[in-house]
Copies of this chain bind each other. A is one copy, B any other.
Amino acid sequence: MLQLNYRDSRPIYEQVRDGLRRLIITGAIPAGDKLPSVRALSASLAINPNTIQRAYESLEQEGYAYTVAGKGSFAALPADVREERREELFSKLDAIVQELRFLGVTDGELSARLGDKKEEKEP
């Protein structure tokens, strides 16, 4: 379900949070569905429950999850959070594209790259 990379310098709790965020945004975990319990996920990933709890805290603070006391944590993807994420990604996109242009990448190459990826989704 989630993959951890211990070589990565990023903290485990961030990797867990980012992985869950991606699963929620891609629909692999639909909004409203229950997330694995802190203890269950910590057991399956073989890490401390506190680390999972921290990932869930961060995920909830970002708006991708909510908690019902005694029941558990659930996935969420409200419109404003989607919009916020879009803006964040667009900003990163701009920076990358700008640097690629300095590296001599043409509009044609960029379009081709995006087109290729589109075809992978719609063969």
Question: B residues within 8 A CB of A27?
Answer: 102
- How many angstroms between the C-alpha atoms of A96 and B113 in the bound complex? 13
Q: From DSSP, what is the main secondary structure of chain A's interface residues? A: helix
Interchain CB contact (< 8 A) of A97 among B85, B86, B103, B117: B117
A80-105 contacts to B (CB < 8 Å): 82, 85-86, 89-90, 92-94, 96-105
Contact B103 A85 (CB under 8 A): yes
Contact A25 B97 (CB under 8 A): no
Interchain CB contact (< 8 A) of A99 among B25, B111, B113: B25
> Is A114 engaged at the interface, CB distance under 8 Å to the other chain?
yes
Question: B residues within 8 A CB of A44?
Answer: none
Question: B residues within 8 A CB of A118?
Answer: 107
> Is A47 engaged at the interface, CB distance under 8 Å to the other chain?
no
Contact B86 A105 (CB under 8 A): yes
> Is A71 engaged at the interface, CB distance under 8 Å to the other chain?
no
> Is A22 engaged at the interface, CB distance under 8 Å to the other chain?
yes
